[in-house]
Structure 1
Amino acid sequence: MKSFVPISAALAALCNFTLAHYRFTSLVVGGRNTGEYVNVRRNTNHNSPVTDVLSKDIVCNAGGLSSGTATQIAPVAAGSTVGFAMDQAIYHDGPVSVWLSPAGSGNVTTYDGSGPWAKIWELGAQAGNGQIRFPASGQSAFNFQIPSCTPPGEYLLRIEQIGLHSASAKGGAQFYISCAQIRVTGSGGGQFSPTVRFPGAYSGNEPGILINIYYPVPTTYTVPGGPVARC
């Protein structure tokens, strides 16, 4: 009986730790949730985050580069609103960003995300009066527009939320990532700029990644990865 209390406490701590994690599991098109891992590539690390920004896992999460052939492609019109839904609400404070990468002449189901990525949307922080707030916290779905200038073709659509609760030490930031497979339709003919590569977009030393959000309270915050691209 004496050993029951610490074991129970350990199990409770493990449960709370697990529940504090989350996943982007579904794509939302035309206001309809298309289902868990129908258009979103399935990862292999359950709801654990990526912490190594130089790893290939930063592209589409652990296992996300090998699950494309088991994932369907969603047709999406340029200029339309789409979104990602989660298995539970965001628990850790931090920003959200959304990225597009064209599969080129190949099929997106076999595309490894090694090409250019354009940030098309971000949700950062509100700082001032000695406080910083991340509006993404507590949310379980995010909607955004596919730019109307997006050329037709197949793309990886990547969403990333960074948990900054332990980010005061390098490698402490937690990256929650999913990639969906979409086929953009329309007559867009733009070229996105700027673009980045994953891995490569982050070193881990960026002030939006290596940061103490508690003390001293930041007076400003910039979402890492550069500005939202234009085309």
Structure 2
Amino acid sequence: MRFTIATFALAFAGTASAHATMFGVSVNGVDQGDGRNVYIRTPLDNGPVKDLASPNLACNTNGGEAAPSFVKAAAGDRLTFEWQHDNRGDDIIDPSHVGPIITYIAPFTTGNGAGPIWSKIAQDGFSNGVWAVDKLIANKGKNDFTLPANLAPGKYLVRQEIIALHEAETAFSANAARGAQFYPSCVQFEISGSGTVVPNENFDFNTGYTFADPGIVFNIYTAFSSYPIPGPAVFSGNGGGNGGGAAPPAPAPTSRPGSAPTAAPPAQNPNIPAPPAVQPPTTLQTSVRPSSPTGAPATQPSSPCTPAQPARRRRR
């Protein structure tokens, strides 16, 4: 299958509704209300972080500003995090922005979340031809997970991220116009219960996520049957991990509609598919913090947006 005019049009359409941010939380199905700048450390805009060395990778651009309130929940409760694009119930995130949704927890800090304090408590990647982002859109922006039942009571930060892979066939470090897009959001919780376990994976995003990670540099535009979720194993709630990493393989290779499967993944690393015959278009010119030199290779299709007209839409 070749890239078609419709394929390019779909990618360009993503510039109008690409980004996402978190709206609020429900606890056991009870809506806690609009959490933006209330119990969520809401970022300055709904754009992504792409530089793995940036302190914004932990809790985004407003991560060092503690919110005034906490969501109250108990260990073992079912939580629902609700995402939006600009407004509650809108288009959530562009369907081209496929990728995993990963949830971490850390002891509460008034700092920006940088450093080795995080443990992974939930993840959803790719299985049976469906991405976590596909499910998020189908579920009107809602993603469910369960707090570890043995979690010690106290105040915590719970961080959920979307990793959009539509430009991830090339590392940001190699070409700052492309690269995986990270959408992290940190929520303040006060958790009750009789548990005694304090999550202890001590994961640091700035050192634990690298451009050598096959889940961060990943080509969705060619055939693949599984996806290796980045980060540590999922914390089991009893002081250790209970697996994680790569999602189970789907029954048969698949690719996104309109993509161009061209070759099997390289033998030396089956998790990274070979690059497509035609380079996928850039759907936006992202403003990245901190900035890095940009410039696409000679064969790179030009972005539909220029730096003078950034595609990122700011929330009002």
Distance change (3 Å), C-alpha of 1:41 and 1:176: same
What residue number does 1:3 align with?
none
TM-score, normalised to structure 1, is: 0.82
TM-score, normalised to structure 2, is: 0.61
Equivalence map 1:133-148=2 (5 Å): 133-137=130-134, 138=137, 139=139, 140-148=141-149
Does residue 37 of structure 2 align to residue 34 of structure 1?
no
Deviations 1:66-103 (A, max 9, x none): x21x4311111001011211124232100001000012
Q: Between Structure 1 and Structure 2, how many residues are aligned?
A: 205
Q: Aligned AA for 1:74?
A: V
- Matches of 1:187 and 1:111 in 2, distance apart? 27
Q: Is the 8 A contact 1:208 1:221 kept in 2?
A: yes
Q: What is the root-mean-square deviation of aligned Cα atoms in Å? A: 1.8
Give the unaligned 5+ runs of structure 2: 1-11, 86-91, 173-178, 239-316
Structure number with higher relative contact order (C-alpha < 8 Å, ≥ 6 residues apart): 1
What residue number does 1:55 align with?
54
Q: Is the 8 A contact 1:54 1:203 kept in 2?
A: no
Which of 177, 180, 195 pairs up with 2:187?
A: 180
What residue number does 2:104 align with?
99
Q: Aligned AA for 1:178?
A: S
Q: Is the 8 A contact 2:160 2:186 kept in 1?
A: yes
Greater strand fraction, Structure 1 or Structure 2:
1
Shift of 1:157: 0.5
Q: Aligned AA for 2:144?
A: N
- Matches of 1:56 and 1:25 in 2, distance apart? 22
Distance change (3 Å), C-alpha of 1:18 and 1:178: farther
Q: Equivalent residue of 2:163, what SS?
A: strand
What residue number does 1:84 align with?
81
Q: Is the 8 A contact 1:195 1:229 kept in 2?
A: no
Q: Equivalent residue of 2:205, what SS?
A: coil
What residue number does 1:208 align with?
215
Give the unaligned 5+ runs of structure 1: 1-12
Does residue 213 of structure 2 align to residue 225 of structure 1?
no
- Percent identical among aligned pairs is 32
Q: Is the 8 A contact 2:117 2:201 kept in 1?
A: no
